[in-house]
Structure 1
Amino acid sequence: MIGRLHGTLVEKKPPWLMIDVGGVGYEIEASMNTFMALPDTGETVRLFTHLTIREDAHLLFGFAREQERELFRALVKVNGIGPKLALAILSGMDEDAFIRCVMDDDIKALTRLPGVGRKTAERLVIEMRDRFPHWQNQAAPATAMENMPTTSGTSSRRDTLADAEAALVSLGYKPAEAARMLSGLDDGQTTEALIKSALARKLSS
């Protein structure tokens, strides 16, 4: 099991990134919350990881905080929730927000997440109550979104929008819906910031 990686961030294209560790490049899929906490490429990064082994692939998922990885591991134990959907859930809201939704029976908020219908939301509320990690009652840490870097991207505005739309689609949103989520947003932002704004708009609608 690969539990943590410490190396140089060489590429980030949401929801994928690559870390060079001793000359070996590890491809990792991460939530948008984790992406907001990443430094610029070329800088050192440390991520907690979870390895999923399938017959056709070894999939590595990365998390900026150990608490996020714990919640990911709890989510994939729920019937019908695979790694991709768990990552989409964690991209739409941080750990604290998810816990509040479950404890408050907020089915409506959960169904705003991609791939989460009413039945899945109800299952999450029922099954996750007893699966929260030990830190559920601790004070919430600052979310990765709140600590998002403010550095500007180097790609063109069109490429930034295209990358943001592709990332939203990879999270489970339909292309037309992803385009609507990005419509009217400031395209001078970085890809990560655009995705953050689009997700915030979706969850508040």
Structure 2
Amino acid sequence: MIGRLSGLLLEKNPPQLLVDCNGVGYEVGVSMSTFYNLPGLGEKVVLLTHQIVREDAQLLYGFGTAEERTVFRQLIKITGIGARMALSILSGMSVPELAQAITMQESGRLTKVPGIGKKTAERLLLELKGKLGADLGAAGGAVLADSGADILNALLALGYSDKEAMLALKQVPAGTGVSDGIKLALRALSKG
């Protein structure tokens, strides 16, 4: 099993990379979040990897962080979620955003990822609850009470992006009521 690659970045053709490791070129599939954090062509790159061996292919997937690789491995364990779908999920939202969506059980945020329908989103929430949300949600920022989900949904309904809404939500103290929380979040958004 190949667990890590260190070498020169030869090609970048999203979502594929070609990494030269002492004369051997490895084709590696990466998520867009990893892709955007890559160095320039010809520069040294280090990727954590996950290798999948199938009857017809040997596939290598690369990740910039250990958390992203861990989430990828959790995702591909779920029935109906293959490696490409897992990369698509990790390309559509960051690990903390995914953990937040799972913690707050928000299938609507998952269905915004191309290829994820309502049933798949609900299966992800069910399968990953307790495995991903609690651990990485705490690492990714504030894990809010039930009112946090209501405040976030209100901001999204008002037309703010996921990123803007999450940043504003971090400005709201835990335990704040829904109406006060929305007011505080809107104040934070108007200042930004």
SS at match of 1:38: coil
- Tell me which of the two structures has the higher relative contact order, counting C-alpha pairs closer than 8 angstroms and 6 or more residues apart: 1
Corresponding position of 2:53: 53
Corresponding position of 1:119: 119
Give the 5 Å matches for 1:1-205: 1-132=1-132, 135-140=135-140
- 1:138 shift after superposition: 4.9
Q: Aligned equivalents of 1:84 and 1:99: distance in 2?
A: 19
- Preserved contact between residue 15 and residue 30 of structure 2 (Cα < 8 Å): yes
Determine what percentage of the aligned residue pairs are the same residue: 46
Cα pair distance change 1:115/1:57, threshold 3 Å: same
- Preserved contact between residue 113 and residue 203 of structure 1 (Cα < 8 Å): no
After TM superposition, where is structure 1 displaced by more than 6 Å over at least 4 residues in a row?
201-204
Count of aligned pairs between the two proteins: 145
Q: Aligned equivalents of 1:87 and 1:40: distance in 2?
A: 22
> Structure 2: where are the runs of 5+ without partners?
142-160, 165-192
Q: Aligned equivalents of 1:82 and 1:39: distance in 2?
A: 27
- Preserved contact between residue 48 and residue 66 of structure 2 (Cα < 8 Å): yes
Q: What TM-score do you get using the length of structure 2 for normalisation?
A: 0.71
- 1:134 shift after superposition: 8.6
- Note the alpha carbon deviations across 1:81-123, whole angstroms, 9 max, x for none: 1111000000001100001111111111101111110000000
RMSD value, Cα = 2.2
Q: Aligned equivalents of 1:109 and 1:35: distance in 2?
A: 22
Q: Aligned equivalents of 2:124 and 2:107: distance in 1?
A: 9
- 1:132 shift after superposition: 2.0
> Structure 1: where are the runs of 5+ without partners?
142-200
- Preserved contact between residue 8 and residue 20 of structure 1 (Cα < 8 Å): yes
Q: What TM-score do you get using the length of structure 1 for normalisation?
A: 0.66
Please identify which structure carries the higher helix content: 2
Read off the aligned partner of 2:139 and give its amino acid letter. Answer: A
